[in-house]
Amino acid sequence: MISVAIVDDDKEVRDGIAVLINGTEGYRCVGAFANAEEALERIPGSPIDVVLMDINMPQISGIECVTKLKLREPRLQIMMLTSFEDDEKIFQSLVAGASGYLLKKTPPAKLLEAIEEVHHGGSPMSNQIARKVVETFQRSGPPAGETVGLTAREQEILSHLAKGYRYKEIADTLFISVETVRTHLRNIYDKLHVRSRTEAVLKYLNKQ
């Protein structure tokens, strides 16, 4: 059972996501907070696996809330769920400690898949967001050399991650199981000395 909390000042959004989560086997909504202040008071110390965080909220923004939560609960998995697609918000969120970044127009099935992915240590991103991350690093300069220590298969998987593929899509494309993809990713994280998909992709792209 994956325990999920929602932080969003839009009641309709909170209620809609809560209904989706509670209506799906294996998921449970254990909190829905209207602002960052309430989230900061209630989330630390609670049995919450994944937090879905909006950005544009009164007083304390979602990005600032992520920073404060990660200081108090470093292992907490937080995924931004917002309408913002601009580069600044994306990278501020990732630097703050968010493990994923999805747009609110993400279909319900994809949202549930992303919650599971971030719970298992991944860093799901909407395809549009993944593309912006790729373009940002492509603009940073010419190739600087290969990523040291990764096998050809690991580099292939990391390349697919950089394009925004999800675990199942990578497995289907490479004709391997999802569990095999996860095993490769654990090895990739160890070799690159990172803890998430986002960190791995950023490090990989920066070395290409």
At residue 87 the predicted structure's pLDDT band, cuts being 50, 70 and 90, is: confident
Topology of 141-207 in CATH? Answer: Arc Repressor Mutant, subunit A (1.10.10)
pLDDT at 134: 65
pLDDT at residue 176 is higher than 90: yes
How far is the CA of 93 from the CAs of 54, 64, 102, 158, in angstroms? 10, 9, 11, 21
Would you state the CATH architecture of domain 2-124? 3-Layer(aba) Sandwich (3.40)
More confident residue, 130 or 188: 188
Spatial CA neighbour of 49 closest among 28, 26, 76, 70: 76
Task: Give the mean pLDDT of 25-44.
Answer: 95
Computed over its alpha carbons, how large is the radius of gyration of the chain? 17
| Cα 82-37-15 angle, rounded to 5 deg | 50
Q: Is the CB of residue 69 less than 8 Å from the CB of residue 31?
A: no
At residue 138 the predicted structure's pLDDT band, cuts being 50, 70 and 90, is: low
